[in-house]
Every structure is written in C-alpha cells, then in structure tokens.
Amino acid sequence: MPGIPDDLDRDDLDVLSLAGLAPPPDGDWLLVTSLEGQPGGGFTAQHLHRHELRAHGGDVLVRVAPDTGSPERPEVRAQVWAVMGGRLVLAGNWGRQSPDDWPEQVRPSVAFAMGVITELEESGADLGPLRLLPAAVTGAHVPGAQPLDAMPGSQAMAGATHAARVPSTAGASRIGLPGPSQRR
C-alpha cells in the first residue's frame, strides 16, 4: 500500500486524497483549514511537517497513525484534537480504521470541534493563554512550568506522556505537538 508522501506541501491539501494511503510509522498531523459538513464535501488541511509541529488556540487537528493490522490489511488510528485553553482536547479517537475510510470517519468530529471553537470565539473566549511543551523538550527545569497529567491517547501520539504549562510569551499561544521531532 502506498504511503502518505513525506514531502507534502504546506499548502492546503484535500484530506480525502489521503484515503487509501498508509501514514508513516510515526504518524502525521494535519491542521484543518476548511470543512464542508456533508460526506464527500470539501475537507482541506495543512500537513504539519515534523520540524513544525505547532498549533494555536482555536485550531483543529487530525492525527493519523498506523494501528494494528497486517501488511496485507493495514489499519490506521485517526484522532481529532481541538486546541483550547492552551491544551489539546481529544474530540474523537478511532482505532483499527481502514486507510480508505478514516477521512469520512473523522468528518463529524472535525465539524463538531470547529463549531464549538467558533461559538467559543464568538462569545469572547480566550482559547490559548498557555503554551504546551512536551516533557522531552522541557527537561527538568523550566521556570514557571507546571507538569500536566499524561495526555489522553499519548501512545498514539508517538510516545509523548507529559507536558508542561508555560506562560505564553507571544500574543498567540503555541502548542508543541508531541511527535518524532522530540526524539532526535
């Protein structure tokens, strides 16, 4: 089965075009840029390259990674995450998905997360006063950092188990997403 190309452009890509492709061994993060709610409708995202794993408050992300299965019949794990209040919030998690079906499987949760974020933003909610850094990056001493509990689904997120809360120094919050860049 062909894999998702490593050299995807940062430009918007049609998520439905990834159906049937195997994710890389350490998975991929997609930053959702637009979605039509109807099955088969538009669904675009930006591929977050391994060295640019950042998101901002109000973003919706899709994580797709290999799951159990065999070479003859691969399976993927697909997750939907919303970035709210400086945290990754799991909005959906599906294991053992066919590589052909995961984009449509995640569509309702992506639509829900985008709708909730829109409502919160329109109500004046501050969706990102903090920045999260994986424990592998934070090390033992980060001034002002407070350890968080292990993030749900951390095994599917390339082994990340902890993060630290650090006050944001920029106007927009950033979240360092767990992944292979921290294992270099």
**The predicted structure's pLDDT at residue 94:** 96
Residue 139 resides in a domain? no
Number of domains composing the chain:
1
**The predicted structure's pLDDT at residue 81:** 94
Domain that holds residue 106: 13-128
DSSP state of 40: T
pTM over cut 0.75: no
Residue 158 resides in a domain? no
139: CB partners within 8 A, 6+ apart: none
Residue 165 resides in a domain? no
**The predicted structure's pLDDT at residue 111:** 97
Tens-digit pLDDT string for the chain (184 aa):
676 666 666 678 999 999 999 898 889 999 999 999 999 999 999 998 877 788 888 999 999 999 987 878 889 999 999 988 778 899 999 999 999 999 999 999 999 999 999 999 899 988 864 343 443 333 333 333 333 333 333 333 333 323 333 333 333 444 555 544 333 3
Strand partners, 28: 64
Residue 22 resides in a domain? yes
Residue 154 resides in a domain? no
**The predicted structure's pLDDT at residue 175:** 54
Residue 170 resides in a domain? no
**The predicted structure's pLDDT at residue 177:** 59
Question: Cα torsion for 32, 131, 95, 38, to the nearest 10°?
Answer: -20
Which tokens is 9 given? 């452009």
Residue 56 resides in a domain? yes
**Residue ranges with strand state E in the chain:** 13-14, 28-35, 43-48, 54-55, 60-66, 76-84, 87-97, 130-134, 146-147, 163-167, 175-176
**The predicted structure's pLDDT at residue 30:** 94
29: CB partners within 8 A, 6+ apart: 47, 48, 53, 61, 62, 63, 177, 179
Straight-line distance from the first to the last Cα atom of the chain, in angstroms, rounded to the nearest whole number: 27
Residue 157 resides in a domain? no
